[in-house]
């Protein structure tokens, strides 16, 4: 069954994630808020959309000041004939988000994209009773946690994802450093 977050009509600009993802926000900042976007569950899905012609452009994170290079993206870009249209260094505030009524003390699991979890190592070291759980995307993790409302689960993602899905920001900034930034490239395929 297709996840509703990825069932949107195909746009010409692909990005990894779903509504509420940092890549969606980067695409809107780089290109504009009204451009049709094509969400893809994985980075491989973005590159497949570009190779098949379902998308002619993409906005992708290539490096983060805390995590380093996003190797899957850099490898995929290297194999694809493309032009870099623009780039953006976007500040990234990783928020801890839960369903309404869930207190911080009840949290036992936190879901997010592996790169986002990697930017929050200190948070998990300071809270050893909280398990980090990898998910496909920050926005999807927030949506899933709010929708499932388990009572012991939160997500790490953008504060705007909390507003989008009805979640509550328990901690506005759980990344390891306040100057966390990600470099996004807006690319266009050649040919």
Q: What is the DSSP letter of 48?
A: H
Average pLDDT, the chain: 91
Give the pLDDT score at 161.
Answer: 96
* Low pLDDT (below 70) residues in the chain: 1-11, 191
Helix (H) / strand (E) containing 115 = helix 114-118
Contact 124, 171 (CB under 8 A): no
Give the pLDDT score at 4.
Answer: 38
Contact 97, 163 (CB under 8 A): no
Give the pLDDT score at 11.
Answer: 53
Q: Which domains can be identified in the chain, with CATH numbers?
A: 8-91+180-189 (3.40.190.10), 95-171 (3.40.190.10)
pTM of the model: 0.85
Which structure tokens are listed for 14? 């692909």
Give the pLDDT score at 66.
Answer: 83
Give the pLDDT score at 190.
Answer: 85
Contact 153, 111 (CB under 8 A): yes
Give the pLDDT score at 1.
Answer: 29
pLDDT digits (tens, 9 = 90+) for 143-168: 999 999 999 999 999 999 999 999 99
Give the pLDDT score at 67.
Answer: 82
Give the pLDDT score at 27.
Answer: 96
């Amino acid at each position: 069954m297709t996840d509703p977050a990825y069932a949107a009509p195909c746009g010409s600009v692909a990005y990894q994630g779903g509504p509420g993802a940092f890549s969606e926000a980067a695409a809107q900042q780089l290109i504009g808020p009204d451009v049709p976007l094509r969400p893809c569950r994985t980075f491989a899905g973005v590159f497949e959309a570009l190779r098949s012609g379902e998308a002619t452009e993409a906005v992708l994170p290539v490096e983060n000041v805390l995590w380093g290079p996003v190797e899957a993206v850099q490898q995929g870009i290297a194999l694809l004939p493309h032009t870099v249209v623009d780039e953006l260094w976007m500040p990234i505030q990783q928020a801890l988000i839960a369903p309404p009524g869930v207190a911080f003390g009840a949290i036992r699991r936190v879901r997010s994209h592996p790169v986002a979890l990697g930017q929050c190592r200190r948070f998990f070291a300071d809270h050893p009773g909280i398990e980090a759980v990898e998910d496909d995307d920050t926005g999807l993790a927030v949506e899933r946690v709010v929708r499932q409302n388990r009572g012991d689960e939160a997500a790490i993602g953008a504060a705007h994802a909390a507003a989008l899905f009805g979640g509550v920001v328990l901690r506005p900034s759980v990344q390891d450093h306040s100057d966390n930034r990600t470099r996004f490239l807006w690319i266009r395929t050649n040919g």
